[in-house]
Amino acid sequence: MGYAAALLSRSVRRVVLVQSLLSVLVAAASLLVLGWAGAVSACYGGAISIVCACLLGWRVRRAGDLAWQAPRLVAFSLCLGMVERFGIALAGFAIGIGVLHLPAVPQIAAFALSQFAYPAAGNSLSPGWHS
């Protein structure tokens, strides 16, 4: 694994960790306000966000590998990843709210708050950053 792949892997792990912590905070608040259903819903919303983050990392790594073989397909691959993440989030919310009948507010709140993991963990993406 090269330096760029190792940095990407470390960055994805860091984002997922911060997303998990933020989701647990929303789940704890939801537990106090709405009970177990709210906490489960918040965990489900955080899980959707984590799946999307992992898919983003996989697509970016794949685009990096693809850049050497077919540079014209890199943008297409990244756009396809964006559509996939949007579809997964939309389907996840539809299943969580429509099929599982989880409360919508904690689910969406955990998903939205966990998106702040990207700038919070962003210092790991800066050049010269070492752990």
Enter the tokens of residue 128. Answer: 């010269």
Domain boundaries of the chain, sorted by first residue? 3-116
pLDDT tens readout for residues 87-130:
999 999 999 999 999 999 999 999 999 998 888 776 655 555 45
Of the given ranges (37-41, 66-70, 92-96), which has the lowest mean pLDDT? 66-70
pLDDT digits (tens, 9 = 90+) for 75-86: 888 888 899 999
Task: Evaluate the CA torsion angle 6, 7, 12, 18 in order and state its sign.
Answer: positive
